[in-house]
Chains A and B, each alone.
Chain A
Amino acid sequence: MNNSNRPVRLHWMEDYKYLFKVVLVGNAGVGKTCLVRKFTQGIFPPGQSATIGVDFMIKTVKVGNDKIKLQIWDTAGQERFRSITQSYYRSAHAIVLVYDVSCQPSFDCLPEWLGEIESYANRRVLKILVGNKVDKGDEREVPERIGTDFSDVNHFDYFLETSALDATNVDQLFEQVATRLTNDMKVTDERVHQYRADATNSSANSSGPIKLIDRAQTQLNSCCSSRQ
């Protein structure tokens, strides 16, 4: 534990354009931890025991020319950690809901998870559905078609099937998350700049209290993530 003595705030000060929080949820044993490990460390940990509480990893990716920092929260799927994991929903920029294609019950629980997302997460959070363990071939219980349909019906922003074991789509999953969030953020940034320009150019007749709050809200949403 050599790094335990480093300055407390060091890694917030590194040079990156945006920092996004990504939260992985889903039933216990669908492979959330393995997905995260595969992506952040390139390893598939065999015999991974169930996550306790939440785990968290950081990885920087590039979107175009921008350095994007992904802060990935890997939550425990077991029921007893629910109230801890729920508290992470609200500040998440993206929620990745994972099920196991070889385990029908994990797919059947998706509506329950969606309910959680709806009640705790930000309305505009990026929702991504992932069917993991496609390497299991014959043992598959949930066809890709079913996953796609579920994703469409429930307005997920993106759906894909992955395998942490053979690395299928793992990098793509997180790159998609980073790219989509970055693009969204750039749009918001532009809008904020527009607001600022409006505020300085126009005179008294423009804004009112309602608009004031809106503007504050817009900036709140952007400022929490675009630290540079």
Chain B
Amino acid sequence: MPESLLHSKFLSGGVPAGRKNGARKETKSEKPAKNDEFEFDFDFTRKLKELRLELEIKKREEERIEKDIAIILEENTIDGGEQNRSFGLAVTRLNNHMLLAENSAKQLTSALKNISSLADTISGRVSALDMAKTRVVGCLQLAGDMRDLGVCAEGIDDAIRSEDFETASQHIHRFLTLDQAVFQIREFKQKDATDSIRHSYEVLSSAKERLSKILKNRLTDAVSKEDVGEMQRFVKLFPMIHESEEGLKRYSVFLNAKIDKLAEDNLRIMRSGGTDDNRRNVLYADTLFMFFEGVAGIIDSNLPVLEHSYGMDNLLKFVTILQERIDEFFRQLIEEFETRRKIPHLVRQVEGRKSEESAPDALEIDAVASEICMMNQSVEMYWRFVGRRIGKYDDSPRDMAGEDDDEIDAEKIAEQQRLRKEAKEQNLDKLMNRSRVGTKIQELIGTYCLFENFYMLKSINLAIKSDDKEDAAGLTSSVIDDVVFIIRKSIRRAAGSGNVDSVGATINNATALLDTSLQDFFKKNIQSGYPSSNFASDALQSAQTAYSAYQQGKPVKDSQESQKEQFLLTLNNAAKISELLVDLQKDLVTEWSGVKRPAVEKDKLEHATTQIEDAAKRLALFAKHGVEELFRVAFKPKIRQGAEPYEDIDRQMTMQDLEYFEAHDPFIEQFLASVDRLLVEHEKILFPDNYSTLLLLTSSELARQIENVLQKCQFNRYGALQLDREYRQICAYLTNVAGWNAREKVARLGQIVALLNVETIDEAMDVWQNSKTLTTSVRTLTLPEVKKTLSLRADFPTVAIKALE
């Protein structure tokens, strides 16, 4: 029980350890008190008693406090002294440990120093080893190369002697691809080594010469003997001895001979008139097609051999070599074509087409144009074939170098590939666009565009000349369908040629003809305008007709009637052809959307087709202006006339009037009926588009006339109500015949009616403000207009209206 022991010791000492000072003080204060007692001997007893008592009390108090403290200490401290001692022990232990740790750390440092110097040595050794290894590998490679060289040198003669040229070429190939370092060894002093290398080198060099000579001879022999197997055998070997050009050259002699033969055969057949009499008019195109088919066949059967041993890059070179013979054939063919088909003559005629009699027949031109298109098609087909074969469209990186190339290498490779591709494209462009076939066919396409334009011009003129309204009930005449048919045919033909520029040119020319020839024809027909049919001129007209009929002894159609008919027919034609052209444009777009083309060509075609749409728009506008003219003559006066009776009705009416008018309409029903009669009459003779234009014109004119006449009236509240009723009828009618678009045309009138249908001027202003925020497409009335409108209300004070702001 150390705790209780501890406490009892403190208590027996009287003063606890922590209270020594306090106890001392107490004893000091006691002594002077005793001195006082002895020296003066006063009656301090009482005082003493008191003091003693007090002391006693204090002592007890102290004891109590001590006890309290003891208890508190007991409660709060856990093992005071003991703890101190054990703490001291612990510190010492820790100290010892620390010393130990310090020692260890020092040891570690020195150990590490040791290790690092060791590591340095090791890494030095490793790098030395590495270098050594690289050198060893290099040496091994070199040794291998040298051994190969030796083997090659030994084997080459045997191989050549035994005509095993494949092995021989392999030897030479090995020899040629050897590291140049091998041959530098020649410079070394070690005599026997360099001797053997020099020997091998000389042997192989001479062997290469020999082999090259032999291969060339054998290949030439094979070519002259037309021994395909031998040829293919030898031609494969040339790239091995690094003489691919030679190989290609010799091999293409053979292929060129084949092409020449093919050309000769085809030309012979062509000159004898072809094999099929039905295809005589496309004889030259057919010949060209057959020839290119043949060439493609030749290339196709030989390309795999070449591709395998020569690589893709050399193929274009090869095709370019062949091109020379193809050019020659093409020259002969075109020469024949141009003389037989009298192309220069036709061109001269077409260009100088002012003299109509000497102009060539459209049918003849048509046939030649088709033939040129087919020729171009064949050429394009061949180019596409070549492009495909030499991998123009094949962008996938071939023979990528080693697997562990880092980014820089990849970039370099990409750059190289880009350059290679560019060079290839350039060469291909040179082949396709600058070769004789390329330039000559471009020239022919030019001629074709000229012819196509002429064909369209002639045919459209013919269509105009023979324009006939076949179907009496029809709204349009034959010229429309004919013209669209011709244009469609020409554009399709141009597209069929495969040359996008010719499509562009043909569409340009076609829209030019639509804007000139066709529109001139239309204009001529409506030049005299739409005949107005007032009474006097009617009478005069019929008298004239009767007279001329009498004079000529045959019935003549009423000239005014025919003028009217002509006018309407032209309007309908214009509207209809506009619609047909939009359809044509859409058809062409869908037709061409499936074909894969370069972006530039797509853009060109897109532009070209929008031109058709533009031409259609211009024709639609033409029709619209025509309808406006018709409307001006036949509708406007009648609508104005019809609106006139409006002002005769007194608009300052009573409730009774209003009720009466509900049953007995004074004006509007008759007015609308007369308009309706006019419209119905024209509905059946106008093309739907034109009729809807007419409806909209009627709608706005109707609104304008009503607006005009109501300005002449004075309204009271009931009059305004009647007006509102009338307005609703107009709206209902127009919506019924012309649809919602018509509502927009009468919106202004609606605003006026709303303004008049108010109780007070303030309400009118509210209505006006509201209309400002509501209407979007229609202009709202201006303040002066509002004032003017409100002044029509007889019951509103003029002063108040004037004061409005």
Contact = CB atoms under 8 A, between A and B. Distances in A.
A65 interface: no
B607 A56 contact: yes
B336 to A, nearest CB: 20
B617 A83 contact: no
A223 B453 contact: no
B373 to A, nearest CB: 14
Contacts of A54: 501, 504, 604
Interface of B: 426, 429, 433-434, 439, 442-443, 445-447, 449-450, 453, 499-502, 504-506, 508-509, 511-512, 515, 523, 526-529, 589, 593, 596-600, 602-604, 606-607, 610-611, 614, 617-618, 621-622, 625-626, 628-629, 632, 636-637
A4 B599 contact: yes
11 contacts: A3-B599, A4-B596, A9-B610, A53-B499, A83-B446, A84-B502, A84-B505, A219-B621, A219-B625, A223-B618, A224-B617
A224 B618 contact: yes
A204 B509 CA distance: 38
CB-based closest 6 A-B pairs: A53-B501, A87-B508, A209-B529, A87-B505, A80-B443, A83-B449
Contact of B621 (A4, A80, A83, A223): A223
Given A207-B629, A212-B529, A224-B618, 12 more contacts: A4-B598, A4-B602, A8-B606, A49-B434, A81-B442, A83-B449, A87-B504, A87-B505, A88-B505, A91-B508, A203-B636, A219-B625
A46 interface: no
B392 to A, nearest CB: 13
A9 B606 contact: yes
A115 interface: no
A209 B604 CA distance: 38
A199 B439 CA distance: 55
B295 to A, nearest CB: 23
Contacts of B529: 208-209, 212
A87 B625 contact: no
> How many interface residues does chain A have, given as a range?
35 or more
Given A80-B439, A91-B611, A213-B523, A1 B598 contact: yes
A212 B515 CA distance: 16
Interface in A200-226: 203-204, 207-209, 212-213, 215-216, 219-220, 223-224
Given A223-B621, A224-B618, A209 B526 contact: yes
Interface string A24-56: 000000000000000000000000010011111
Contacts of A17: none
A82 interface: yes
B625 A90 contact: no
B521 to A, nearest CB: 13
A12 B610 contact: yes
Given A91-B611, A209-B528, A220-B618, A84 B629 contact: no
Contacts of B527: 209, 213
Interface string A107-151: 000000000000000000000000000000000000000000000
A31 to B, nearest CB: 19
Nearest to A216: B625
A71 interface: yes
B508 A90 contact: yes
Nearest to A10: B606
B433 A52 contact: yes
Contacts of A199: 628
Interface of A: 1, 3-4, 8-9, 12, 49, 52-56, 71, 80-84, 87-88, 90-91, 199, 203-204, 207-209, 212-213, 215-216, 219-220, 223-224
Nearest to A12: B610
A95 to B, nearest CB: 14
B768 to A, nearest CB: 23
Given A12-B610, A87-B509, A204 B449 contact: no
Nearest to B433: A52
A197 to B, nearest CB: 13
A207 B629 CA distance: 9
B632 A84 contact: no
Contacts of B505: 83-84, 87-88
Contacts of B589: 8
Contacts of A83: 446-447, 449-450, 453, 505
B453 A87 contact: yes
Most chain-B Cβ atoms within 10 A of its Cβ — which of A52, A56, A82, A199? A52
B629 to A, nearest CB: 5
Most chain-A Cβ atoms within 10 A of its Cβ — which of B434, B511, B618? B618
Contact of A81 (B446, B607, B626): B446
B526 A84 contact: no
Contacts of B501: 52-54, 81, 84
A208 B210 CA distance: 96
Given A54-B504, A80-B443, A207-B632, A8 B593 contact: yes
A209 B571 CA distance: 13
Contact of A87 (B434, B512, B515, B617): B512
A49 to B, nearest CB: 7
A220 B602 contact: no
A71 B607 contact: yes
Contacts of A12: 610
Most chain-A Cβ atoms within 10 A of its Cβ — which of B434, B621, B625? B625
Contacts of A8: 589, 593, 606
Contacts of B526: 209, 212
